[in-house]
Amino acid sequence: MEYLEKLHDAVLNGDPVTAVDITEKALGERIDPHILINEYMIRAMDEVGARFERFEYFIPQLLMSAKAMKGAMALIRPLLVGDGVDDTSICAVTGTVKGDVHDIGKNLLGALLEGGGFRLVDLGTNVSPEQFIDAVKENDAKLVCMSALLTTTMPGMKTTIDAFKEAGIRNDVIMLVGGAPVTQQFADEIGSDGYRDNASAGVVLAKELLGLGEK
């Protein structure tokens, strides 16, 4: 099974064609899909995130790795459900807050969350507090990541957190914030669980707060 290392390399090097080929071959040989995800792809995406944080990887490289992982996951995910094996990965809900239509940072975070093994529900842009709440309830999500690019729209993060409190589900989820105008002070004052200034560090923080991975 040495060839499986090529799956790791294909994700790390952003090679979607090879990632899909190897995944097809491995699934054809009835290799447990969880092994493909946990031992090869997540390991590769963790390394992608680390390289990105060290400025050794650029955003296009990160996007290509995400595409490779996504291609492989498209083959794997139906099997996780179809075989009656529950998809037990933790659900993360992402969205850019109400009034804001910018999404590059949020999409990078989403790619890295998926790469880190989360089940992603991306609500897109201009997301109201009610939409965040509904998505959390419908998907039993444990993580909410809100993004804003503008100083005008970032108060929407506080409004959303307050809406979670009112709905009585604030303590059921970890709520993280990020985006160009956001600071740690702002994150603290609005009652979020945390902030990071880049997508990769955001995933590390999410895992820490959820008790996953390294502390």
Partner 1 sequence: MNLKLISCEVFKHEFLHCISKTNNNIDAKFIKKGIHDLNSKGMQNRIVKSINKADGKGFEAILLGYGLCNTWVYGLVANKTPLVIPRSHDCIGILLGSKQKYLDYYFENPETYFQSVGWMENTENGPSIKKRSLQKLYGMDISQDKLKTLYGEENLDYLNDSLDQTKHYSNMAFIDTGLDSHKNYQKQAKSKADNNYWGFEVLKGNRKLLQQLVNGIWPESEFLVVNSGMMVQQSINEDLVTATTPISSK
Residues in contact with partner 1 by CB under 8 A are: 14, 16, 55, 58-61, 63-64, 67, 99-104, 107, 125-126, 150-153, 155, 158, 180-183, 185-186, 189-190
Distance of closest approach, residue 60 Cβ to partner 1, in angstroms: 6
At what angle are helices 129-139 and 155-166 packed, to 10 degrees?
50
Distance of closest approach, residue 192 Cβ to partner 1, in angstroms: 11
Distance of closest approach, residue 82 Cβ to partner 1, in angstroms: 27
Sign of the dihedral defined by the CA atoms of residues 117, 122, 128, 134, in that order: negative
3-state secondary structure the chain: CHHHHHHHHHHHCCCHHHHHHHHHHHHHCCCCHHHHHHHHHHHHHHHHHHHHHCCCCCHHHHHHHHHHHHHHHHHHHHHHHHCCCCCCCCEEEEEEECCCCCCHHHHHHHHHHHHCCCEEEECCCCECHHHHHHHHHHHCCCEEEEECCCCCCCHHHHHHHHHHHHCCCHHHCEEEEECCCCCHHHHHHCCCCEECCCHHHHHHHHHHHCCCCCC
Residue closer to partner 1 (CB basis): 153 or 160? 153
Residue closer to partner 1 (CB basis): 33 or 192? 192
Distance of closest approach, residue 150 Cβ to partner 1, in angstroms: 7
Distance of closest approach, residue 114 Cβ to partner 1, in angstroms: 14
Residue closer to partner 1 (CB basis): 33 or 195? 195
Distance of closest approach, residue 31 Cβ to partner 1, in angstroms: 27
Residue closer to partner 1 (CB basis): 7 or 97? 97
Residue closer to partner 1 (CB basis): 16 or 116? 16
Residue closer to partner 1 (CB basis): 16 or 117? 16
